[in-house]
Amino acid sequence: MMDVFESHDTIVIQTHADPRIAALVGALTDCIHPRAARLKARLAADPDDEQLGQLRAEVLNLVAMSFGLAEAERRLQAVQ
């Protein structure tokens, strides 16, 4: 099974995709910071649970810097 997650600037294709990955990619929507593309690439590499936790923290930090903490928490509330 192949899932495709679209955002405005990239498409991440993931086999047996974890819904947490889709939520993290979605949280980066409209983020134009150069780190956003690198984070999306790391998310596309099928991270394990430990790596996914680290990536969640990095996404939270980047989205908070770009859009504010309240918006970052709102975007990431689905990813626990």
**Structure-model confidence comparison of residues 17 and 63, the more confident one:** 63
Q: b vs e for 41-53, b when ≥16 Cβ sit within 10 Å of the residue's Cβ?
A: ebbbeebeeeebe
Q: What is the pTM of this model?
A: 0.78
pLDDT-based confidence at residue 49 (cuts at 50, 70, 90) = very high
Average pLDDT, the chain: 85
CA 72, 73, 76, 80 dihedral sign is positive
Taking only the tens place, the pLDDT of each residue in 20-33 is 998 999 999 999 99
Which contacts of 31-35 are long-range, i.e. CB under 8 A and separated by 24 or more positions? 31/62, 31/63, 31/66, 31/67, 32/66, 33/62, 33/65, 33/66, 35/62
Sorted by where each begins, the domain ranges of the chain are 2-76
